[in-house]
Chains A and B, each alone.
Chain A
Amino acid sequence: MISPNTPIPNAAALKAWRAELVETRKRTRGRVLVCATGCRALGALDVSKAFRDKLASAGLSQEIDVVETGCHGLCARAPLVLIEPQDFLYGPVAPADVDEIIEVTLRGGKPVTRLCGKADGQTTAVLREEPFYRAQKRDVYRLCGRVDPKRIEDAVAYGTYETLAKVLTSRTPEQVISEVTASGLRGRGGAGFPTGRKWALCRDVAGDRKYVICNADEGDPGAFMDRALLEGVPHQILEGMLMAGYAIGATNGVVYVRAEYPIAVEHAKIAVEQARAHGLLGRNILGSKFSFEIDIRMGAGAFICGEETALIASLEGRRGMPRPRPPFPAQRGLLGCPTTINNVETLANVPLILRDGAAAFSAVGTAGSKGTKVFALAGKVRNTGLVEVPLGATLRQIVFDIGGGIPGDRPFKAAQMGGPSGGCVPAQYLDLPIDYDSVKQLGAIMGSGGLVVMDSSTCMVDIARFFTDFVHKESCGKCVPCRVGTKQMLDILVRITKGEGRMEDLEKIVSLGEMIRASSLCGLGQTAANPSLSTVRHFRDEYEAHIRDHRCPAGVCRALLKYTILADACTGCHACAKKCPVAAIVGKAKKPHEIIQAKCIKCGACREACKFDAVRLE
């Protein structure tokens, strides 16, 4: 038996330990897997506590394990609970539901139907029957939601680190690189650079000290894939980093996590400590000649630090400003040493490639983009959550088959892909297979995988204004076109959303956008105009409505809105006045009410509160 703090001497001992752990697991007859990461926002920790307490008083603690896991994926139904071995997926679950789950499922083996999903009027109790999961291919996320991220024992029981042992004992670094190259894996952090090629470049540079950096800065609004991976399967990421380190000849790794992800920071720190205690980090890992250490560093609230040279500057204790390349980080990176920077999801793919081989990996995907891609599905869509599909899946599959479509069945307008560097993909491309190259042709980018769905109640001019405001605030200030150009772009867009735009503004957006793109140093500036350019290109009519008719078709731009109460429809129930946050609604009980326009902040709360459709929006 491996005791908690003994290093594992070699590959055989790791294998034996895994066998023991699997055996131990058989002593319990079921597991209650409560997502304690994303779902924590809706009280998941109360749910897991309720399970622990009530199973103890029911005398079932020995038979049933309660495990706080990472994300199950279907976040829209948070808090989620998955019951093994039946694989019943319940959500949303409240502490009050726990007694019934214990009685019906854990004692009786039957599903609690009211907590299950529904598809076509049928109850779908079992996870793989849910339409949300049926069309997915969950490879990278397979263990997310299944293992306890705070216990290395759980990771090992599921085979984490076993491929590392195989690699260290029977592969040369060159073989590892050629396997990754042959798989066709491209970086998941945005640019899609071939990972094997990146590693080969770094391997070829001489240096006693080299670094592997795991980029977990994930700043794109609307993206939460990397967060879920680091929170849910931290050991899988460490395994990927170890393999990268072995391949390029590095001795040190750094995980750079953004400070806004406290759970990810905590889980990564715990994982590093446990890996160290078991000799999976440190000197002569698993008895091999390979030694490797990993540090966790937290970002300090700057979006630009996701860019690789800015990230390095930040790790060196400087302002996070990008610098020109070459030299590339592979040549001169952290502290002047050759450095490989990879995204979290890229690294999470590596152990799978080396376990199953390049051929199995490249059997999935399109000609130029292999494997699966994880998308963070958010915005106006029913099944918000994490979706993993083969590259080449269509937007329709993601948004409708998996995502369940748009609440209220309003029409799909666009999907914003790739965050502030990306663009808006309109409805006519719903059936286009998505990969790195196809998305680029539409003026968006795959980016890290954020996918925000927009419907008829989203104003595209407002979205362009929103992203331009974002990049303007996050510009590091080094290049004038990015620093000043985005401000001018913002001024134009603000003017249009206020109904003060001019038709020639549209041409100005295009020429200004192209100038910013051509003359900025880093990816932030080069793509800063994408949201404006792609919306002008695909939604010109909306811009024209704002400029020519002073009208916001989606009813979003506040300066162009006016809320009034229709006297003949108003019953004087006072419901709207109670909801109005600024007390702008006056009127006697049972008499028609009125909105004082000077006070109104146009939040729309009254319109939502009114049961008689008496609030009109112009």
Chain B
Amino acid sequence: MDWAPAQRILQQMSPVGESDLIPLLQNLQDTYGYLPAEVLTEVSRQTGIPTSRMYGVITFYAQFSMKPRGRHTIRCCRGTACHVRGGQSVADAVGRVLGIADGETTQDGRFTFETVACLGTCFLAPVMMVDNDYFGLLRPEKVNSILDAYP
């Protein structure tokens, strides 16, 4: 495990207190792609924040993952506006195309697939995001070509 990036983050955020735990985990996850247990143990040793406390927070928030995540994150909206305009069939199509369920990562590590409550883009429902890009007015048959652009 490459320990240098975590070290850099701790330095930048110093002094790290318990109330910085969420931004700290966000920075670590941004850098490592997920939250590796070894890194958390070491961060705990250096900051004095117990690993039990970290684990509690990580499992509470949907954003955090202790398993490696895909290079790209697909977020399909399952909000109301998307739901009444056929969002479910778009999410189903993503699941079918990638052969994984909500919350899973493809074998080749390319995509992690999640559904979220709302992307705030309800006017273009149904909507999904790939990484930080929005796609609106979706149809199940558009999914393939969108995903092709993310190698």
Within 8 A of B (CB), among A367-409: 376-380, 384-385
For chain B, which range describes its interface: under 10, 10 to 19, 20 to 34, or 35 or more residues?
A: 35 or more
Residues of chain A within 8 A (CB-CB) of B122 are 221-224, 376, 378-379, 384, 450, 452
Contact between chains at B118 and A222 (CB < 8 Å)? yes
> Which residue of B has the minimal Cβ distance to A467?
B80
Residues of chain B within 8 A (CB-CB) of A78 are 123-124, 136
Interface flags for B107-133 (1: CB within 8 Å of A; 0: not) read: 000000000111111111101010010
Contact between chains at B62 and A38 (CB < 8 Å)? no
> Which residue of A has the minimal Cβ distance to B17?
A317
Interface window among B7-15, B21-29, B36-44: B21-29
> Assuming the A-B contacts A302-B60, A318-B57, A379-B84, are A38 and B26 also in contact, with contact meaning beta carbons closer than 8 angstroms in the complex?
no
> Which residue of B has the minimal Cβ distance to A608?
B139
Contact between chains at B120 and A224 (CB < 8 Å)? yes
Query: B96 contacts which of A259, A380, A452, A581 (Cβ < 8 Å)?
Result: A581
How far is B62's CA from A302's CA once the two chains are assembled, in angstroms? 6
How far is B140's CA from A582's CA once the two chains are assembled, in angstroms? 11
Contact between chains at A319 and B118 (CB < 8 Å)? no
Contact between chains at B132 and A262 (CB < 8 Å)? yes
Asked if A75 is at the interface (CB within 8 A of a chain B CB), the reply is yes
Query: B123 contacts which of A40, A220, A224, A318 (Cβ < 8 Å)?
Result: A224
Contact between chains at B84 and A317 (CB < 8 Å)? no
Asked if B83 is at the interface (CB within 8 A of a chain A CB), the reply is yes
CB distance from A588 to the nearest CB of B (A): 24
How far is B140's CA from A604's CA once the two chains are assembled, in angstroms? 11
Residues of chain B within 8 A (CB-CB) of A335 are 19
Total A-B contacts with CB atoms under 8 angstroms apart: 156
How far is B75's CA from A40's CA once the two chains are assembled, in angstroms? 16
Query: B80 contacts which of A38, A318, A379, A605 (Cβ < 8 Å)?
Result: A379
Residues of chain A within 8 A (CB-CB) of B25 are 300
CB distance from B76 to the nearest CB of A (A): 12
Residues of chain A within 8 A (CB-CB) of B127 are 41
Asked if A314 is at the interface (CB within 8 A of a chain B CB), the reply is yes
Contact between chains at A259 and B120 (CB < 8 Å)? no
Asked if B100 is at the interface (CB within 8 A of a chain A CB), the reply is no
> Assuming the A-B contacts A300-B64, A302-B60, A454-B84, are A227 and B124 also in contact, with contact meaning beta carbons closer than 8 angstroms in the complex?
no
Contact between chains at B23 and A298 (CB < 8 Å)? yes
How far is B21's CA from A445's CA once the two chains are assembled, in angstroms? 34
> Assuming the A-B contacts A300-B26, A300-B61, A603-B92, are A219 and B118 also in contact, with contact meaning beta carbons closer than 8 angstroms in the complex?
yes
Asked if A429 is at the interface (CB within 8 A of a chain B CB), the reply is no
Contact between chains at B141 and A41 (CB < 8 Å)? no
Residues of chain A within 8 A (CB-CB) of B96 are 581-582
Query: A41 contacts which of B18, B117, B134 (Cβ < 8 Å)?
Result: B134
Asked if A94 is at the interface (CB within 8 A of a chain B CB), the reply is no
How far is B121's CA from A582's CA once the two chains are assembled, in angstroms? 29
Residues of chain A within 8 A (CB-CB) of B64 are 300
Asked if B56 is at the interface (CB within 8 A of a chain A CB), the reply is yes
Asked if A218 is at the interface (CB within 8 A of a chain B CB), the reply is yes
Asked if B46 is at the interface (CB within 8 A of a chain A CB), the reply is no
How far is B118's CA from A297's CA once the two chains are assembled, in angstroms? 19
CB distance from B139 to the nearest CB of A (A): 9
> Assuming the A-B contacts A319-B56, A384-B122, A385-B123, are A41 and B135 also in contact, with contact meaning beta carbons closer than 8 angstroms in the complex?
yes
Asked if B147 is at the interface (CB within 8 A of a chain A CB), the reply is no
CB distance from B116 to the nearest CB of A (A): 6
CB distance from B13 to the nearest CB of A (A): 12
Asked if A458 is at the interface (CB within 8 A of a chain B CB), the reply is yes
For chain A, which range describes its interface: under 10, 10 to 19, 20 to 34, or 35 or more residues?
A: 35 or more
Asked if B63 is at the interface (CB within 8 A of a chain A CB), the reply is yes
Contact between chains at B60 and A260 (CB < 8 Å)? no
Interface flags for A313-335 (1: CB within 8 Å of B; 0: not) read: 01111111000000000000001
Residues of chain A within 8 A (CB-CB) of B134 are 40-41
Asked if B89 is at the interface (CB within 8 A of a chain A CB), the reply is yes
Contact between chains at B22 and A300 (CB < 8 Å)? yes
Within 8 A of B (CB), among A506-531: none
> Which residue of A has the minimal Cβ distance to B97?
A581
> Which residue of A has the minimal Cβ distance to B116?
A260
Within 8 A of B (CB), among A248-297: 259-262, 297
Contact between chains at A38 and B123 (CB < 8 Å)? yes
CB distance from B97 to the nearest CB of A (A): 9
Residues of chain A within 8 A (CB-CB) of B141 are 579, 581, 605
Contact between chains at A227 and B120 (CB < 8 Å)? yes
CB distance from B11 to the nearest CB of A (A): 19
> Which residue of A has the minimal Cβ distance to B89?
A603
Query: A222 contacts which of B62, B79, B135 (Cβ < 8 Å)?
Result: B79
CB distance from A359 to the nearest CB of B (A): 34
Contact between chains at A466 and B63 (CB < 8 Å)? no
Asked if B93 is at the interface (CB within 8 A of a chain A CB), the reply is yes
CB distance from A479 to the nearest CB of B (A): 16
Asked if A95 is at the interface (CB within 8 A of a chain B CB), the reply is no
Residues of chain B within 8 A (CB-CB) of A318 are 21, 56-57
Contact between chains at A466 and B80 (CB < 8 Å)? yes
Contact between chains at B125 and A218 (CB < 8 Å)? no
Asked if A470 is at the interface (CB within 8 A of a chain B CB), the reply is yes
How far is B137's CA from A41's CA once the two chains are assembled, in angstroms? 9
CB distance from B117 to the nearest CB of A (A): 5
Residues of chain A within 8 A (CB-CB) of B72 are none
Residues of chain B within 8 A (CB-CB) of A604 are 89
Contact between chains at A221 and B124 (CB < 8 Å)? no
Contact between chains at B116 and A301 (CB < 8 Å)? yes
Contact between chains at A605 and B140 (CB < 8 Å)? yes
CB distance from B133 to the nearest CB of A (A): 8
Residues of chain A within 8 A (CB-CB) of B61 are 300-302, 320
How far is B123's CA from A452's CA once the two chains are assembled, in angstroms? 10
Contact between chains at B120 and A261 (CB < 8 Å)? yes
Interface residues of A (CB under 8 A from B): 38, 40-42, 75-76, 78, 218-224, 227, 259-262, 297-303, 314-320, 335, 376-380, 384-385, 416, 419, 450, 452, 454, 458, 463, 466-467, 470, 474, 476, 579, 581-582, 601, 603-605
CB<8 Å pairs between A and B, sample of 16 = A41-B136, A221-B81, A223-B122, A260-B119, A300-B61, A300-B62, A300-B63, A301-B116, A316-B18, A318-B56, A320-B61, A376-B123, A379-B84, A452-B80, A452-B81, A605-B140
Known: A218-B120, A317-B18. 13 other contacts (CB 8 A): A219-B117, A224-B118, A227-B120, A298-B22, A315-B22, A317-B20, A318-B56, A379-B81, A384-B123, A450-B122, A463-B83, A581-B141, A605-B89
